[in-house]
Amino acid sequence: MKRTALALALGGLFIAPAAQAQHSVASTFDAKLGGYVQLNTTWDSDENDDDNPSSMRKSAIKPGDPGQNQRTLRWTDTRTRLFLDVRGSELWGAKTRAYTEMDFDGLKLDETKGTTSASNANTPRLRRAYMRFDWTNTWALLGQQTLLFYDAVSPFGTTYIEGVASGRGGMTGGSRNRAPAFFAGHRLHFGGSTLEVIGSLARHTTDNEPAGGINDSGTRAERPAYETMVKYSMPLFGREALAAVSTYWGEEKLNNGAATAAALRTQKLRSVGTGLQGALPLGPVTPIGAFEVRGSWFRATNMSKWNLGSNASTANSTFSNIGLIQPVHAHGGWAEVNWQITPKYGLALGGGRARDDREDVRAIGGTSVKIQDNQGYWLMGTWQDGPWGFMAAISNVDTMWVQPNNNAETRNDSQEIHFVFRYSF
C-alpha cells in the first residue's frame, strides 16, 4: 500500500509539471528520421584485400604480391546511413539538439581489432551520438563526434567516398576518427569576418595494439586528447575564404603485453599534430559556375591511426623495445580544385601526399618493407538532384616502401574507379 502511494506520489511529481507544460513542450520538439541508401561499386586495377569498397584505396599493391594485376569489381551497401535528428525546446537560451547516426560499416567478421577490410560484412555501427547546444555565437557538444583536429575543410566528394585524399594522404576520414568528446566553441564577428575558437576534450584513440581494438574506450590513455582549432573566415568575391589551424595532443601508455604485473613494462607515447587548412574561392560565382581551391597540410607524430602518416612508432609487433619506442614523424597534405558547375553538377581534381620521416621508418627495423611515401590523385564528378545523388571518380595511388634494414626502395601504383549511387530521405 505504502509502495503504491509512493509510486503515485512520485508519479504525480512527474505528471503534474508535464501536464502543466504540455501545451508548449509538446509542440517544441521536432524529430526527423533521415539518411540515405548508398551503393558503392568499385573497380580496382589490383586486388584490394585491405580497404573498404566505399573508401579510396590507401596504398598501392606491393610489387610481386599475388593480387597484382588481379582486377576486381567490389560492391557494397554498407555505407548506407540512418540518423535520428531531434530538435528540442530552447534551454537557457540555447537551441538544443540530439543526434544519433549509424551505418552498417561496423565490426567485420573475425576482425576483433578493427583493422580495415575489403569485406562486405554489414554490422551496424554507431557513428555519431551527441547532444548539442547552440546559443547565438557559442555552442557546446557532448557525445561522439568527428574529431575536431584537422576537420575544418574536406575534399569535395568526401561524403561519397571516405578517405578521398587517400587513407594515408592526410585526411581524417577513417572509421575511428569519431570519438566521444566534449566540444565548446565561440564565434566572434568582425564586420563580415568571423573568428571561431573551438576546444575539445576527447577520448584518445589507443587501439591498433594489444589491449586496444575497435571497441576501445581509451583504456591505455590516462588523459584525454586535447584539441584546439582557430578558424577564420572572411568574405572574398562575394563568397567565403577560410583558414584554420588546429592541434592535437594525446598520450597513451604502451605495454609489452605481459601476462603478469611483475613482467609488465610500460612506456608513454604521445600523439601530437598540427594542421593548417583552408578554402579559397577563385573569383565570384559566374554563369559557368564557381571555382574554389581547398587544401590541408599537417605535421604529426604517432598519428597514423588518424591516417596522418603510414607508421605510428618504432615499435615492432612484440614490444620488445618498450622504453625505447619513438614516434614516427610524418607530414603531408592535400589540395583540390573544385568546379561547382551548377547546383546539380560538380567536378573536383585533387591530390594528396603523406610522407613519413625516413629515419623514423628505418628505426622500426626488420626486413619487412614499410610505407614511407604515399601519394594519391583523383578526379571526380557529382550530380545531385533533390534526393538523388551520383558520383563517378577515378583515382591513382602511388606508394613507395622502404626496407628498414637496408634502406631499399620499392614503388608501385594502383588505380580505382568508383561509382556511387545514393538516395537520400
Partner 1 sequence: MQKRFAAALLLLVGWCAAVGAEAPRLLVLPFELSAAQPQEYLRRAVPDVLANRIGQSRDVVVVPADVPAEALAGRSPFSAAVAQELGKARRADYVLSGRVTEIGKRFSVDAALFDVKSGALVERYSAEGGDLSELIPKLGEIGQSVRQSFAARASTAPAAAAPAPAAPPPAATAQAAPARKTWISKPLAVEIRGIAIGPVAERGRADIVVLTRQEVRVYRRRGEDLELVTRYAANRSVDNIGVDVADLDGDGLAEIYVTGAAPSNALASYVLRWNGSALQPLATAVPWHLRLVQLADGPALLGQARSFDKLFDGPIRRLAWRDGKLVAGDALPLPGHVTLYSFVVADVNGDGKQEVVSLQSRSPLMVYDLQGRVLASGAKYGQSAVYVEDKRANNDAQPEEAQLPGRLRAVTLPGNGLGFLAAQNQESIGVFYRARNFTGGNVVALRWQDDGLEEVWRTEQLAYVADFQVSELQPSGEPMLVIATVSDFEGMLSKPRSFLVVTPLGK
Residue ranges binding partner 1 (CB under 8 A): 23-24, 27-28, 30-36, 81, 83, 85, 87, 89-90, 93, 95, 127-128, 135-137, 146, 151-154, 158-159, 162, 171-173, 177, 189, 192, 194, 233, 235, 237-240, 242, 279, 281, 284-290, 292, 338, 340-343, 346, 385-388, 424-425
d(CA 8, CA 3): 9
The three grid cell numbers given for residue 119, joined into one nine-digit string: 569485406
**Least distance (Å) between residue 126 CB and partner 1:** 14
Judged by beta carbon, residue 195 or residue 201, the one nearer partner 1 is 195
The answer to whether 195 and 188 are in contact (CB under 8 A) is yes
Closer to partner 1 by CB, 198 or 364: give it.
Answer: 198
DSSP 42-110: EEESS--SSS-TTB--SSPPPTT-TTTT--EEEEE-TT-EEEEEEE---BTTBEEEEEEEEES--PPTT
Q: How far apart are CA 45 and CA 69, in angstroms?
A: 6
Q: Residue 102 and residue 82: Cα distance in Å, rounded?
A: 5
Q: How far is the CB of 81 from partner 1 (least distance, A)?
A: 7
Place of cell 564528378: 381
Contacts for 247 with CB less than 8 Å, ≥ 6 apart: 149, 226, 227, 228, 229, 272, 273, 274, 275
Least distance CB 371 / partner 1 (angstroms)? 22
332: cell is 603531408
Of the two residues 222 and 385, which places its CB atom closer to partner 1 in the complex?
385
- Residue among 139 and 401 whose Cβ is closer to partner 1: 139
Minimum separation from the CB atom of position 376 to partner 1 (A): 16
Give 90 or 222: the residue with its C-beta nearer to partner 1: 90
For residue 167, the minimal CB distance to partner 1 (Å) is 12
Cβ nearer to partner 1, comparing 106 with 289? 289
SS3 of 149, please? coil
Task: Report in angstroms how near the CB of residue 411 gets to partner 1 at its nearest.
Answer: 29
